[in-house]
Amino acid sequence: MKMAKIRCILISLFVIMPGKTPLAQNELPGLTQSGQYQQGILGSISQPGPIRYSPDTIYLVGTYPLNTPELIRGEGLEITQTYCRFCHSTTYISMQPQLSASAWHTIVDKMIHTHGAPIPEEEAKQIIAYLQAQYAQKDHK
Amino acid sequence: MTEDTSKTISRRFLLKIMSGGIAGLGFTQLNSAWAQISGQAVQLLPSLTGPNRNPYWNSTGPFVVYPQKLPLIQITDRPVQLETPRHYFLTPFTPNAAFFVRWHLDKIPNAINLSEWRLFVEGNVERPLILSLNDLMKKFKQVSVTAVNQCSGNSRSRFQPHIPGGQWGNGAMGNATMKGVRLKDVLDAARIKSGSLQVQCEGLDRGRGPKDKGSYRYQKSLYLNDPILHEVVIAYEMNGAPLPILNGFPVRLVVPGKFATYWIKALTWIRIITEPDTNFWMTKAYCIPDTPHGNTTPEDMERKQIKQIPIGTMPVRSFLITPDGSDMIPLAMPLTLQGIAFSGHGQIVKVEFSDDNGITWHQAKLGKNYGRYSFRTWKAAWIPKHTGKYTLTVRATDEKGNTQADEGIWNPGGYLWNKIERQEVVIGVSE
């Protein structure tokens, strides 16, 4: 009821008052659209305040914000999260472009053999299967 | 109340609208023709760019805010990698607060105690040194250099087939005047012993991997007979201010002309070594095919015929910064094309632009010269002569005669990209 009331007042405000079109033509020539706002997808972002100085010789900036996108749901997600967010966030997975299935295999091998990720063979297989299903070409959303 | 009454607003209604806000009222649905144009014309960038190369100037991540930084574009959050938005390249110096960030290992400094921090000069030297920041500022001659710092993987999102790693757009670069002391002066004070081969640099960052792996520490080495060594600076000042912690406070290495991989942040150990450094970051990462322009193919890599060598000097590049394609341009409007150019091989001597997709080229006017390692700004007057699309392109030439090619390259690291840049702009009717 209340909504309907507000709506009709708005109609009178924006539509009826200036005549047939929302904007009077001769007053503001060429103006095709104005006064439009929307609760938007383009968001706001907080500003950092000034750094709180410590009185001594320590130069500090505080903690760094995490902004880790969620990984795609699917079989093997949990095990992937267990092993693949130790040295870096899983943003390293979600930021990749469409890679081939074999590229994901190579990446997991590299994490284990070159970077020393302690991942048992069976788990590694499941992680590779997950990454290939969710983050390789074709299946990539 | 019916639709056609009440042209005035009651006080009660005003109060209501002011306390509740108008956003939730959904008045954009009032008029269907109006509603068609009333949605947000600006959409979110899609986060993934499919099998194709990233078509945007920057990478596609969200803006994020970090200490001492303006909103930058997220590549990764742990460790921190942030890209500088295009807009900041209108000026020759990139503001510290907008300067890109690239760490490899996740334990990066949040706080540094300068009464405990020291720079250690050690290894095959006669007099190992332990220097405080104050020692560096007081005991050595102060020098400064303006130099471009560019990530080896800048523009990696252009490569096809795609290459795993940070999907940088063009914003993993910046230009700053770096003040500090000459590495050579510090090494001379430590007196390098004979039989020395390389100088190895290491910062305060650490990873969570095993101690003998690249996932634990990040080290980079330069040959002592590399001529660039005479120009390497241990910098404690960046554009006249202390370095942001994310850019390497208290000191970082500056290796003019070379890619940022050598510009060690929070530099703490300088080690003279007698054998070639074979750690992961020297021999596995940051290596390029030993071929012209570091170009190869996935097939050739597979066949393992390709020798790989550590990446070094930055090839010549140039960018159009404005117009950036975000506005429609009225026909016949006299515009100023603006951008930057640089080369690790020497002074930029020429920047040319084309408005017919590279068929004919016109020379642009170069901005002030801040030295051979700096960004060089350029400008050109341009008047669009027809409506519809134009493809603007830009290329630079350095004093050695190096210029940019129009063929992309490919290598397994996604390094050395310097293909001629293109920007589509749309010209509208102006009458």
Task: Kindly report, residue by residue over A77-111, the tens digit of the pLDDT.
Answer: 999 999 999 999 999 999 998 899 999 999 999 99
Could you state, in order of their start, the residue ranges of all structural domains in chain A? 77-135
**Cα–Cα distance measured from residue A114 to residue B378, given in angstroms and rounded to the nearest whole number:** 44
pTM for this entry: 0.90
Q: Would you say residue B233 lies in a domain?
A: yes
The number of distinct structural domains making up chain B is 3
- Give the residue among B394, B119, B99 at the shortest CA–CA distance from B260: B99
Taking contacts as CB-CB distances below 8 angstroms, the residues of chain B near A60 are 110-112
- Do B226 and B371 belong together in one domain? no
Testing the interface with B: which of A5, A33, A92 to mutate, by most B Cβ within 10 A? A92
- Do B143 and B64 belong together in one domain? no
- Do B367 and B402 belong together in one domain? yes
**Cα–Cα distance measured from residue B204 to residue B104, given in angstroms and rounded to the nearest whole number:** 12
Q: Would you say residue B136 lies in a domain?
A: yes
Arithmetic mean of pLDDT, B112-131: 97
Arithmetic mean of pLDDT, A14-30: 59
Of B3, B7, B77, the CB nearest to A91: B77
SS (H, E, C) B37-97: HHCCCCCCCCCCCCCCCCCCCCCCCCEECCCCCCCEEEEECCCCEEECCHHHHHCCCCCHH
- Do B127 and B259 belong together in one domain? yes
Instruction: Tell which of B294, B310, B326 closes a domain.
Output: B310
pLDDT, residue B23, reads 41
Task: Kindly report, residue by residue over B43-88, the tens digit of the pLDDT.
Answer: 777 766 577 889 999 999 999 999 999 999 999 999 999 999 999 9
Of B37, B51, B207, the CB nearest to A87: B207
- Give the residue among B90, B102, B89 at the shortest CA–CA distance from B259: B102
- Do B338 and B280 belong together in one domain? no
- Give the residue among A32, A124, A51, A107 at the shortest CA–CA distance from B33: A32
pLDDT, residue B44, reads 76
The nearest alpha carbon in chain B to A35 belongs to B38
Task: Kindly report, residue by residue over B344-391, the tens digit of the pLDDT.
Answer: 999 999 999 999 999 999 999 999 999 999 999 999 999 999 999 999
- Do B335 and B382 belong together in one domain? yes
Q: Would you say residue B415 lies in a domain?
A: yes
**Cα–Cα distance measured from residue B42 to residue B39, given in angstroms and rounded to the nearest whole number:** 9
Residue predicted with more confidence, B305 or A9 = B305
Give B221's contacts (C-beta < 8 A, 6+ positions apart). B198, B199, B200, B201, B273, B276, B277, B282
CATH classification of A77-135, choosing from 2.60.120.10, 1.10.10.60, 1.10.760.10, 3.90.120.10? Answer: 1.10.760.10
Of A41, A89, A117, the CB nearest to B40: A41
- Do B223 and B333 belong together in one domain? no
CATH number at B251 reads 3.90.420.10
Alpha helices by DSSP H, B80-233: 133-139, 183-190
Q: Would you say residue B18 lies in a domain?
A: yes
CA distance B50 to chain A (A): 6
Instruction: Tell which of B279, B310, B341 closes a domain.
Output: B310
In angstroms and rounded to an integer, the radius of gyration of the C-alpha atoms of chain A is 27
CA distance A61 to chain B (A): 6
- Do B189 and B326 belong together in one domain? no
Name the band, by pLDDT with cuts 50, 70 and 90, for residue A116: very high
Whole domain around residue B407: which residue ranges?
A: 317-428
- Do B134 and B250 belong together in one domain? yes
Name the band, by pLDDT with cuts 50, 70 and 90, for residue A22: low
Strand partners, B313: B258
Structure tokens at B345: 């091989």
- Do B79 and B123 belong together in one domain? no
**Cα–Cα distance measured from residue B338 to residue B351, given in angstroms and rounded to the nearest whole number:** 11
CA distance A101 to chain B (A): 12
- Do B149 and B68 belong together in one domain? no
- Do B273 and B154 belong together in one domain? yes
Residue A111: Cβ within 10 Å count: 22
- Give the residue among B285, B228, B282 at the shortest CA–CA distance from B415: B285
Task: Scan for tokens 């026909």, then name that residue.
Answer: B331
pLDDT, residue B249, reads 97
